[in-house]
Structure 1
Amino acid sequence: MEAGASAKGPPDGPHRIVVVGGGAAGLELATRLGDRYRDGRRATVTLVEKARTHLWKPLLHAVAAGSMDRAQHELNYLAQAHWHHFTYRYGEMVGLDRAAKAIELGAMLDDEGREITPASRLGYDTLIMAVGSVTNDFGTPGAARHAIPLETPEQASRFNRRLVNACLRANAQEEPVRPGQLHIAIIGAGATGTELAAELHRTVRAVVAYGLDHIKPEKDIRIVLVEAAPRILPALPERISDATTKLLEQMGVEVKTGTRVAEVRADGVVFADGALLPAELVVWSAGVKGPDFLKEVGGLETNRINQIVVQPTLQSTRDPSVFAIGDCAACPRGDGAWVPPRAQAAHQQASHLFTQIETIIAGGTPAPFIYRDFGSLVSLGKYSTVGSLMGFLVGKSMFIEGYFARLMYRSLYKMHQTALHGSAPTLWRTLAGLVSQRAEPGVKLH
């Protein structure tokens, strides 16, 4: 629907489902709904997304470290929409008119500032917000300017380029590698920061091994993982945190817990006690929040970190025709806690809405969403994987590590791929990936 067009659809026309955000939750839901309503008579499905391609967010740390080629794992939204019978709308949501049941999209520009798509409005009968989360730097001075977040594939690739460039620069200079020149500070020891630290320990050394003889890894390379909480992985069981800390320290990764960052500078990180940690590269992964535009969008209720507050049915508290799923949703649990911003929660919420969509179209009240914690897994690259499986398998929480844990970790991604492509294509992609890996360097070098 172009700018100026009416947002109102015909009363006897198909139900207009609009999903905003093509992350794990939004893309899985749009794909499954598109397949269900492929003829467009009962309902139409539109996915609004400002990116051109999709990459499963838990893979970003591997892209940043250089241990994964993003091109092999990215999915093109336009092609996915064609294959699965939904409409892909390239654009960024900037406003919501709940009275007219329409979202407002801003104009999209290319790198030269030329308009690609104009500002427009898009009508809906059911709106599903799945815009994910962004990094929360808590207003720390210098963080926005000097630290790189890992929210998008572009940011992950940017970090990897800076990492390789830093190694090439240090190897080419005549003077010895200066203190801090090849130091990496990772702020925030949640899953992303912890997994990145382990991957970087291996990949930086692999880059150096390709002939950068001027660099002495044990002397010149330093990776420091910084966490304000008393332990790393504070949202996960303590046993996982302890096991992961032990593995990281055995690798040589420095772990600083109970340490708050006061400032990020071009030459490193300043802690609350005034101490300076020299670092050429700083990654910020210490917390998430909803995108800033959610704060006042359409008068919906949001919490202090910009998440849309929803009822157990995933309907927003102020409009039953607006739903929110994934990291951008503040969803209550029966025990008084909130559903955590994790990939498994986004997947479960997308699956729940898929099962409830006929009730929604018919004007009924959808069933409440019930979150099930299937456990926690943390990948330390080729070194190890640790985690726990919850009671749905063994009657209680079971700690796992090593090969079995790594297999379970990989199965999470395969579940996502299966939701997007089906079982047979996922199997063929897996086999093709195994073959191609044999002919490629172990790390990305450009």
Structure 2
Amino acid sequence: MQTIVIAGGGAGGLELATRLGNTLGRPGRARIILVDRSPAHFWKPLLHTVASGKLDPQVYQVDYSAQAAEHGFHFVCGEVEGVDRARRMLRVGAWRAADGSEMQPARAIPYDRLVLAFGAVTNFFGTSGAAEHALTLDHVQDAERFRQRFIASCMRASSRHAYTPVDIVIVGGGATGVELAAELSHTVRELARYKVHSLDPASDLRIRLVERGERLLPQLNPRLSRRAARHLRRLGIEICTGAAVARVDADAVHDSAGNCYPSDITLWAAGVEAPEVCTRLGLTLNRLKQVMVTPSLQTVDDVRIFALGDCSSHVCPVKGAAVPPRAQVAHQQALFLADLLSREWKDALPQFRYRDYGSLVSLGPSAAVGALAGASGREVLVGGWTARLLYRLMYQKHVMALHGFARMAAQTLAHWIRTKVTPPVRLH
């Protein structure tokens, strides 16, 4: 019986483990092991809703151990420290509790095939002070840290005799930055309605989006970028394009043109790179520390090691460009590897083909914009409630891939009921 180890339980890694557990683990054809440093999974595209207080991560997370028991794979909690390729062993560090006590010791897990699915982390591009003073949205803990600081800043400002505005600076005008800015505008109004603070949302909170490029959402059609910018401005959000950040201080962000943006909280959402663990694997990397893979998603250095998602660099053989770091890429690569690893191939391995179905960006509770790939290959622009509905269906599709249609439908109904009996944002 071969052992397939999947390092990383993000969108792609967990879906791959679930599918291989169903097809190989349950019938006893292979031993499937998922390794992750956290005990639970949360879909990363929703982290901005945790940061704004819209969602409770405890309600939406998936416990790896429960998923493993239900779908025929094993789960090991611990942080990957390296790979012994000669002995085919994955080195995993000790799992420690919040107080630092050791719950499980460090260990080495043997593998016949290894899949790297580490995801990505924030890329500060060497900007002075960014790593020290800017928050990120890499993990649930990061989103919770931002939410708590945001609420605390609003409460402190409203307790002063003379109000001083709360300044939030979001560096990066991509999907994460735009979605967080829109949700924060909604959150501050809801907190005022529940008397959590006494600030005037229109004048006492200043949210700035600082983008290096000439427009927001550069991956979308320019018409959609302009529509998103108009919507954000109506929400009172200041948009600063063509502003390359040169330095981040504890209380301000400075761009290369000499402009200074006061900041009580700075969030960096300007780019991603592969995590540091990729540099310790002895594999060929690109400038973003991503593992270079062949068209079959095998690493160029070791045919027994595969990589998918944001930690890998797959160059499309037709277009000659690397696929973007998106959840739909990880989903398609998980489907591809689930089929490839489930069968024995006597001839050459099949090649992964990425199909871009489009992009959707949320602009708050009731709006979204996006572009879908039409049947003829032409781009179809969507907005308003149509885009908002399609945006919500993306998460339902992820849940269905993990749990099936019946459980997805039940969870959707339960979440809808919860929104009717609880406040629209977390109040503390």
Check whether TM > 0.5: yes
**CA displacement 1:196-244 (0-9 Å, x = unmatched):** 0111111112112222564222221111011111111122222221221
- Equivalent residue for 1:88? 75
Match of 1:407 in 2: 389
* SS in structure 1 at match of 2:203: helix
Over residues 138-170 of structure 1, what are the superposed CA-to-partner deviations in whole Å (9 max), with x where a residue is unaligned?
A: 121221121110010111011111111111112
Greater mean alpha carbon deviation, residues 235-244 or residues 428-437 = 235-244
What secondary structure is seen at the aligned counterpart in 2 of 1:255?
A: strand
User: What residue number does 1:8 align with?
Assistant: none
Report 1:291-440 matches (<5 A): 291-297=275-281, 299-333=282-316, 334-359=318-343, 361=344, 365-392=348-375, 395-440=377-422
Letter in 2 for 1:234: P
Asked if 1:176 is matched to 2:162, the reply is yes
Task: Report the aligned-residue RMSD.
Answer: 1.4
8 Å contact kept, 1:167–1:208? no
Match of 1:58 in 2: 45
User: Aligned partners of 2:79, 2:348: CA distance in 1, in Å?
Assistant: 29
Question: Structure 1 residues 167, 100: CA separation in 2 closer, same or farther (over 3 Å shift)?
Answer: same
Identify the match of residue 210 of structure 2 among 199, 220, 226.
226
* Greater mean alpha carbon deviation, residues 127-136 or residues 203-212: 203-212
Matched, 1:251 2:238: no
Task: Give the AA of the match of 2:236.
Answer: G
Letter paired with 2:164:
R
Structure 1 range deviating more: 267-276 or 159-168? 267-276
Q: Is 1:116 the counterpart of 2:103 in the alignment?
A: yes
TM-score (norm 2): 0.97
Amino acid at match of 2:214: P
Secondary structure of the structure 1 residue equivalent to 2:365:
coil
- Tell me, in whole angstroms, the C-alpha distance in 2 between the residues paired with 1:328 and 1:427: 31
SS of residue matched to 2:304 = strand
Q: Which amino acid aligns with 1:58?
A: P
Partner Cα distance (1:80, 1:327) in 2: 23
- AA of the residue aligned to 1:60: L
Residue 194 of structure 1 is aligned with which of 143, 167, 178? 178
* Aligned partner letter, 1:424: A
2:135 aligns to what? 148
| CA distance in structure 1 between the partners assigned to 2:290 and 2:420 by the alignment | 43
- C-alpha change, 1:270 and 1:428, in structure 2 (3 Å) is same
Residue identity matched to 2:312: A
**Secondary structure of 2:288's partner?**
coil
Instruction: List runs of 5+ in structure 1 lacking aligned partners.
Output: 1-13
What is the DSSP-based 3-state SS (H/G/I as helix, E as strand, rest coil) of the residue aligned with 1:197? helix
CA distance in 2, matches of 1:89, 1:289: 25
Residues matched between the structures, number? 427
Distance 1:424 1:383, change over 3 A: closer
Question: Where does structure 2 lack aligned partners over 5 or more consecutive residues?
Answer: none
Q: Which amino acid is the alignment partner of residue 284 of structure 1?
A: W
Cα contact 1:171–1:212 (8 A) shared by 2: no
What do the CA deviations read for 1:331-362 (whole angstroms, capped 9, x no partner)? 01121111110000000000011111133x55
Task: Note the C-alpha offset of 1:17.
Answer: 0.5
Tell me, what secondary structure is at the counterpart of 1:303? coil
Confirm or deny: 8 A CA contact 2:24 2:342 kept in the other structure. no
Q: Which residue of the partner structure matches residue 161 of structure 1?
A: 148
Preserved contact between residue 366 and residue 388 of structure 2 (Cα < 8 Å):
no
Q: Which amino acid aligns with 1:322?
A: I
Moved more, 323-332 or 239-248: 239-248
Show the counterpart of 1:21: 8
1:348 counterpart letter in structure 2: Q
Q: Which SS does the other structure have where 2:416 is aligned?
A: helix
SS at match of 1:18: strand
Larger displacement relative to structure 2 (318-327 or 383-392): 383-392
